């Protein structure tokens, strides 16, 4: 992340070009999200994850062997499209297969473990970027990136293949309508229907898309802000900020795992809304020009809140039936990539005229407003369902959020 963004910015000297680079990657992810559910309906999750990871390693190696100059810049944008598409497919396949791998009652624990593990890897990655990029150069960073994808592919190869209930599908096949009606019932239309049937899930997807638009601001503004702070070493502030963001994420996962084991509950939809609000406010404060010690604390808070929202969001979508889970995660990825991609274009253009703090404050301010509306809506729904089950807010991991329960 640090090397690719700084490489585009160093090559072109334009925040708009850097935004377009990220928009290409997210646009490819947007398109991949629309077909990921259908791909998983036809193929097992494990080979999909394996080959999408190998493909990302290959395109990073292609970037390394391409000569410098304009050709390498052009290949960089092609690489961004391939990484965006394959990364989305991998994420959808992994998230949708978690209940099949560990069981529905352990999905919150597994999600927290995955987010914590990813954050630990990001700690190593962001910490090393402050050394690899300025000392060894972009080529070395791209080689490290390619190697990390190969390590990921080896890990995927060790995973057990998730078992599907084919008997259940055979029993209900005669009851399903043929042709277009069947595709609508099991495809994207079915996922949309399932999300709208459970208010917490549908509202979370909507807020997630708005939050992605807000998150595009700090991703685009960090290289610009860091370059202004220290033109001789622009990677320093970026790597430190993301390093402590990741550490905060790891700490949050430890708290979530212990709380889940002690109470038997997962993070509710209310925690998702509150976490989004805290996260957006913390990212704004990260560009306020505070001393580094204060900024480190802000980054820790942002990472902790981000980890909280990630576990809550993923666990809620995993309550959907297996036939809809892949389509729902694909739809979610499409919404997130759309919000992030549109945000990157708008934010990168705004950075040409306004300060990083102004752009980040406006972008995340929109997310805070929508999160407030989301929380008010949750409060109204909880009041209406006060005599019913409170699963949409502090769910138990066995049945919360499943349509019809």
Q: Taking the CA atoms of 57, 155, 5 and 123 in sequence, report the sign of the dihedral they define.
A: negative
Q: What is the pLDDT of residue 156?
A: 92
Q: Is the pLDDT of residue 276 over 60?
A: yes
Other CB atoms within 10 A of residue 166 CB: 8
CA separation (Å) from 236 to 226, 228, 318, 356? 7, 12, 38, 17
Q: Taking the CA atoms of 95, 209, 82 and 127 in sequence, report the sign of the dihedral they define.
A: negative
Give the least confident one: 68-72, 122-126, 275-279: 68-72
Q: Is the pLDDT of residue 150 over 90?
A: yes
Question: What's the whole-number mean pLDDT along residues 373-378?
Answer: 84
Q: What is the pLDDT of residue 152?
A: 92
Q: Is the pLDDT of residue 148 over 70?
A: yes
Using pLDDT thresholds of 50, 70 and 90, give the confidence band for residue 170: very low
Q: What is the pLDDT of residue 173?
A: 39
Question: pLDDT tens for residues 10-58?
Answer: 766 766 777 777 778 878 888 888 888 888 888 888 999 999 999 999 9
pLDDT > 90: percent of the chain: 14
Question: What's the whole-number mean pLDDT along residues 115-134?
Answer: 77
Question: pLDDT tens for residues 46-59?
Answer: 999 999 999 999 98
Q: Taking the CA atoms of 337, 46, 122 and 280 in sequence, report the sign of the dihedral they define.
A: positive
Q: Is the pLDDT of residue 301 over 70?
A: yes
The residue to which tokens 């077909």 are assigned: 35
């Amino acid at each position: 992340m640090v090397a690719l963004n700084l490489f585009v910015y160093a090559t072109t000297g334009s925040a708009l070009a850097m935004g377009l680079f990220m928009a290409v990657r997210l646009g490819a992810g947007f398109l991949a999200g629309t077909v990921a559910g259908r791909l998983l309906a036809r193929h097992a999750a494990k080979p999909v994850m394996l080959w999408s990871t190998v493909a990302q390693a290959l395109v990073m190696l292609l970037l390394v062997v391409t000569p410098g100059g304009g050709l390498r810049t052009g290949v960089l944008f092609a690489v961004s499209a391939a990484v965006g598409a394959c990364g989305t497919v991998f994420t959808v396949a992994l998230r949708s297969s978690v209940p099949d791998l560990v069981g529905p009652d352990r999905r919150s624990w597994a999600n927290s473990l995955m987010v914590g593990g990813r954050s630990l890897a990001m700690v190593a990655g962001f910490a090393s970027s402050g050394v690899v990029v300025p000392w060894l150069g972009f080529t070395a960073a791209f080689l490290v990136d390619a190697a990390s994808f190969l390590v990921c592919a080896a890990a995927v190869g060790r995973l057990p293949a998730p078992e599907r209930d084919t008997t259940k599908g055979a029993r209900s096949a005669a009851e399903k309508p043929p042709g277009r009606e069947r595709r609508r019932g099991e495809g994207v239309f079915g996922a949309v229907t399932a999300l709208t049937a459970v208010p917490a899930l549908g509202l979370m997807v909507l807020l997630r898309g708005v939050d992605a638009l807000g998150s595009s601001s700090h991703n685009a503004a960090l290289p610009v802000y860091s370059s202004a702070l220290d033109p001789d070493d622009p990677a320093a502030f970026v790597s430190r900020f993301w390093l402590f963001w990741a550490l905060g994420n790891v700490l949050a996962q430890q708290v979530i795992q212990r709380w889940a084991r002690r109470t038997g509950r997962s993070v509710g939809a209310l925690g998702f809304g509150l976490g989004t609000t805290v996260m957006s406010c913390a990212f704004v404060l990260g560009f306020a020009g505070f001393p580094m010690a204060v900024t480190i604390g802000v980054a820790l808070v942002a990472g902790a809140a981000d980890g909280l929202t990630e576990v809550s969001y993923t666990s809620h979508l995993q309550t959907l039936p297996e036939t809809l889970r892949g389509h729902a995660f694909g739809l979610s990825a499409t919404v997130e990539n759309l919000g992030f991609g549109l945000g990157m274009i708008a934010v990168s253009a705004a950075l040409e005229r306004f300060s990083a703090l102004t752009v980040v404050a406006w972008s995340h301010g929109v997310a805070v407003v929508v999160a407030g509306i989301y929380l008010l809506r949750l409060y109204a729904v909880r009041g209406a369902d006060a005599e019913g089950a409170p699963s949409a807010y502090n769910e138990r991991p066995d049945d919360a959020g499943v349509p019809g329960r």
